[in-house]
A and B are shown apart, each in its own frame.
Chain A
């Protein structure tokens, strides 16, 4: 079956540090890949997505590149802010199937 494995948290970084949250997937076929973010007290929001190999999704300074050869979609940001503190979920989607999520990575940024 399809699955997503992401870096276990919690992750704690200082403000302006470089962030990487690893995500790898297993899928039958060629999925679309997503990063969702859940800020404290809020619902899940789509952060970025990529629908085919070598696509780069980007939003709010975050980036992730769809790497088919390594079945990965790692999330990166060059300089994190306190406001980036949230739980981040990697997910995959195949047509006519369900959206499959990783277990989430809690990120805390300290000033």
Chain B
């Protein structure tokens, strides 16, 4: 089945530093990947759509300069949280679809970011 690998699973960083999160599709190519943010006991909020070889598409209210997305290959997308602040602490999850009929989206295992 389709597998999406996300690293790191947990990260603690100091305020003002940047954190990079990687999302890899292991057994399929993904021209598009999606980045979500999830607060405790809440739904997934789509932050941006990562497009291979072009600029990411950000949802309304998401700061492009704060959440940098790079999709340099068909199997890798990265999300960098720049100048992190405690309010950026959250669960970040990526997803991609192998685009097989009825296959749904495969999610990474998520990254728990804590900014201290």
Q: Do A and B come from one complex?
A: no
Interface residues of A (CB under 8 A from B): none
Interface residues of B (CB under 8 A from A): none
